[in-house]
Amino acid sequence: MKRIDPRKDPSRRMMPLREWPRLDRALWEQALGASNLIAARPICRWSPRTRETAEKAYGRYLTWCAHSGGLDPQAPIIERVTPSKVVAYVEDLLRLNRASTVRELVRFLHHVAKRLAPDHDWTWLRKLASRIEVSAPPWSEQLRRMRSSDELLALGLRLCDDADSSFGLLAARQSGAIPRRSHDRAALRSTLAPHQLRATRAWSDARARWGRPPD
């Protein structure tokens, strides 16, 4: 059986706003225009990126509902987003995505639900999002790929040496036409020292916060 590209899998599609049920879309657009400063972080104060992420997260849930046979366009929000449905949704997502991704999808589902039905108690949804265990610390994959500033500097100098050999500049250096490598190294280290110090501190902070990335 041919494996479907996740980006083309219809069951994992994030339903765009224009395809939401009419009720959901109307409530969302109403929330977008609200400027109630009493409410916690009204949508009008969200960044465009945050709003887009929220819409995609809710669209992902709507797609799941449609494919599971539970998307009733006429149903109110509190009947569409229920504990039993969301738990089943999370279980399905965990078979496809990392726990950190699932947690973010549920967290934004909670944000949208609060705006679509602000008078309803969504505490259970917020708690559910916080209970989704993350199997690996955030950014672990990025940390695994990161290299320290010392490693990058050594790589840069090694590449310079390789370039010298490739283009015959080594002979020119020996004749005195080009500064010797020791002078180049000292100049390079002096130039990069402030940046290297900041990078080393950031590297150390990341490792201290998330743990040493696996080798």
Residue 4: inside a domain: no
Phi and psi at 181, nearest 5°, equal -60, -35
Looking at the fold, whether 152 and 130 belong to one and the same domain comes out as: no
- Per-residue pLDDT band for 142 (boundaries 50, 70, 90) equals low
pTM recorded for the entire structure = 0.59
Residue 215: inside a domain: no
For residue 82, the model assigns a pLDDT of 95
- Per-residue pLDDT band for 20 (boundaries 50, 70, 90) equals very high
CA–CA distance, 91 with 85 (Å, rounded to integer): 10
For residue 47, the model assigns a pLDDT of 87
Give residue for tokens 């109403």.
Answer: 30
Residue at which a domain ends, from 105, 135, 165? 135
For the chain, percent of residues with pLDDT exceeding 70 = 55
Looking at the fold, whether 129 and 146 belong to one and the same domain comes out as: no
Between 130 and 172, the more confident residue is 130
Residue at which a domain ends, from 111, 135, 159? 135
How many Å separate Cα 172 from the centre of its chain? 49
Residue 5: inside a domain: no
Residue at which a domain ends, from 88, 112, 135? 135
Q: What spatial distance separates the first Cα and last Cα of the chain, rounded to whole Å? A: 35
Least confident of 14-28, 56-70, 141-155, 174-188: 174-188
For residue 164, the model assigns a pLDDT of 56
- Asked if residues 207 and 143 have their Cβ atoms less than 8 Å apart, the reply is yes
Task: Identify which of 123, 63, 127 has the alpha carbon closest to the alpha carbon of residue 93.
Answer: 63
For residue 21, count other CB atoms closer than 10 A to its CB.
19
Element (H, E) at 1: none
The answer to whether residue 207 scores a pLDDT higher than 50 is: yes
What is the residue range of 107's domain? 10-135
Looking at the fold, whether 153 and 111 belong to one and the same domain comes out as: no
Domain count, the chain: 2
Least confident of 36-50, 174-188, 190-204: 174-188
For residue 80, the model assigns a pLDDT of 93
CA–CA distance, 174 with 176 (Å, rounded to integer): 5
Give the up-direction half-sphere exposure of residue 22: CA atoms within 13 A in the CB hemisphere.
Answer: 1
The answer to whether residue 145 scores a pLDDT higher than 80 is: no
Ranges 31-40, 107-116, 177-186, 197-206, most confident: 107-116
For residue 133, the model assigns a pLDDT of 74
CA–CA distance, 160 with 110 (Å, rounded to integer): 53
Residue 121: inside a domain: yes
Nearest 5°: the CA angle 170, 172, 175 is 115
Read off the tokens for 145.
Answer: 């790929």
Least confident of 44-48, 68-72, 119-123, 206-210: 206-210
pLDDT tens string 74-109:
999 999 999 999 999 999 999 888 898 999 999 999
Looking at the fold, whether 37 and 113 belong to one and the same domain comes out as: yes
The answer to whether residue 21 scores a pLDDT higher than 50 is: yes
Looking at the fold, whether 45 and 21 belong to one and the same domain comes out as: yes
